[in-house]
Amino acid sequence: MTRIDTTFAKLKSEGRKAFVSYIMAGDPDTAASLDIMRGLPGAGVDIIELGVPFTDPMADGPTIQLAGQRALDGGQTLEKTLQMVRDFRTENDTTPIVLMGYYNPIYSRGVDRFLTDAKVAGVDGLIVVDLPPEEDSELCVPAQAAGLNFIRLATPTTDAARLPKVLQNTSGFVYYVSITGITGAAAAQAADVAPEVARIKAASDLPVIVGFGISTPDTAQEIASVADGCVVGSAIVKQIADGKPLAEVLGYVAGLAEGAHRG
């Protein structure tokens, strides 16, 4: 079992929903983003998604695109991102870390080298949004063989014919994208999400976590109430972009986490 599996088992035993938070590695700089990352578990975060900055993001809205650009302008690299994980693990060996990004930086490093380095650093899972199931042999299957969860995204346009393919090699959890389009573009609606989550859960035993369009504790609670938990990214990244002090960013995260845990 990975840290992700252990975390969901613990949450289930406690009757609680999961709260997953996303930050971009290296935004506003490596040291500051590591400080935020270290503070997330204390703010109630169950799983950390750590964005790997990339020059040509496709699924990310303007908020996360700009965060990635700031990180790259500051010299953030895949190696520095892995070092953030190593540094985090010196103080925390229990909170799962999922790297979220695109295939190019991994391909450039070399899949075998990347998987070895990620596992040793303390990474638990990967979300690579531009690798469809048809390319599972590229990274998904080797990642799972290396002991890393490979988390797939399902969307409102993932129909009944496509869903089994999406779920085929997915592990850890299923990330359900609550809206069509990019991150941070619209508000998630529990009434729309609930039947989609039920459809996925009918086809898989994996937890279903809902992301995109969540920015308030009330919305986090509403969405978590119809799923196994929720993810917040753009709204947290915007706090960082606005230059909010560390305590204020973590206070905002704590409010979201409390909402999700009430779900």
8-state DSSP, 133: G
Radius of gyration of the chain (CA): 17
Indicate if 27 belongs to the active site.
no
CB atoms within 10 A of CB 44: 18
Backbone angles phi, psi at 49, to 5 degrees: -100, 120
Catalytic residue of the set 49, 136, 222, 228: 49
Catalytic residue of the set 5, 60, 124, 136: 60
Indicate if 242 belongs to the active site.
no
Task: Determine which helix (DSSP H) or strand (DSSP E) holds 52, and give its type and residue range.
Answer: none
Give the neighbor-by-neighbor strand order of the sheet with 153-154: 149-150, 125-128, 97-101, 47-51, 18-24, 229-232, 208-211, 174-177, 153-154
Hey, which residues are catalytic here? 49, 60
